[in-house]
Amino acid sequence: MKADSLIPSLAAGALAGSMLVFPREAASAVLSALTDFTAAVLPGLLPFSICALLLTAGRSLPIPALTLLALPGGSPTGARLLRDAGLSPAQAKRAAARTGGMSPMFFLATLSSWLGDARAGALLLISHIAAALLCGCMVGEKCKGRVTLPPLSLPQAAAQGGQAMLTAASCAALGAAAARMIGCALPRLPGGLLAALQAMLEITGGTRMLCQARAPLPLIAGLTGFTGLSILLQNAAFWQRSGLTLFDLCKTALLRAGLSAALMLALYQIFSI
């Protein structure tokens, strides 16, 4: 068995085995992740995804314009919109860096509410978008030309948007279960470190835990810039057609995370939050 297939198989086996040892904890983690997803992500992301598909269906658009439209949708809307653009791996890497982040609605509504500070949520969004744009300038190749997307009816767009959200929810559940199983295996892990680990694997629930722990905003910015393994898995499902692997997306996400944390640190000092 090749190494690229052996590692996922070993990870899946370890997770499945640990869920049999800690079934209640696993079920609780998945329920919590799906509750966060349906309450904090799905209400805004699903209608936006459907609208974005309808706006672009059957149209011939410059790839930069399509990327700009995908940016506010976050993940996996951006990857889904650009899946049929016929990008080379280098072009896809740049597009993924710019569109693989989180939806602005998450920062302005959910995260601001969890922080109890609308200004902090807005500054986190600024650092997030700026980091995505900067990261896109540092990796891959410039996307040129136009792409004609296939036509879609409203029922087809709704079905495809719903399928993308189902993929997102499944990945969130998987990441949350993995984080809880690690916590069960390491019960003495400090709460703050466990929250950061949760965010590395599943960002929505992890961010909520970080907000409850009053974690520093640059740390939250860095982790939302990384977006968590569950979101990277979502994007990888759509980008594989362009030749991008999960490892490629992880490397780009780490760069985006560092830029987001650094920008938030600068804003943190300027605005004295």
pLDDT per residue as tens digits for the range 46-60: 888 888 888 888 888
Task: Using the Cα atoms of residue 144, residue 146, residue 151 and residue 157 in order, give the sign of their dihedral.
Answer: positive
Q: Summarize the confidence of residues 237-255 as an average pLDDT.
A: 90
Compare 143 and 120 and report the one with higher pLDDT: 120
Residue 218 has what pLDDT?
93
The span from the CA of 31 to the CA of 35, in Å, is: 6
Q: Per-residue pLDDT tens for 139-150?
A: 888 877 787 888
C-beta of residue 197 within 8 angstroms of C-beta of residue 203: no
pLDDT category at 167 given cuts 50, 70, 90 is confident
Q: Tokens 């995505």 belong to which residue?
A: 132
What's the whole-model pTM score? 0.87
Mean pLDDT of 33-50: 86
What integer is the mean pLDDT of 176-200? Answer: 87
Q: Is the pLDDT of residue 28 over 70?
A: yes
pLDDT at 76 over 80: yes
What's the pLDDT at 124?
94
Q: What is the mean pLDDT of residues 207-222?
A: 92
Q: For residue 7, give both structure tokens.
A: 């590692």
Residue 34 is encoded by which pair of tokens? 């799906």
Q: Which residues contact 216 (CB under 8 A, 6 or more apart)?
A: 268
Ranges of each domain in the chain? 23-271
Long-range pairs of 125-129 with CB within 8 A, sequence gap ≥ 24: 126/263, 126/267, 127/221, 127/225, 127/260, 127/261, 127/263, 127/264, 127/267, 128/101, 128/102, 128/221, 128/224, 128/225, 128/260, 129/71, 129/101, 129/104
Quick one: pLDDT at residue 49? Answer: 85
Q: Cα dist. 26→16, 97, 129, 177, 249 in Å?
A: 10, 32, 34, 5, 27
Task: Confirm if 99 and 89 have CB atoms less than 8 A apart.
Answer: no
Q: Percentage of residues in the chain with pLDDT exceeding 70?
A: 97
Rounded Cα–Cα distance for residues 260 and 250 (Å): 15
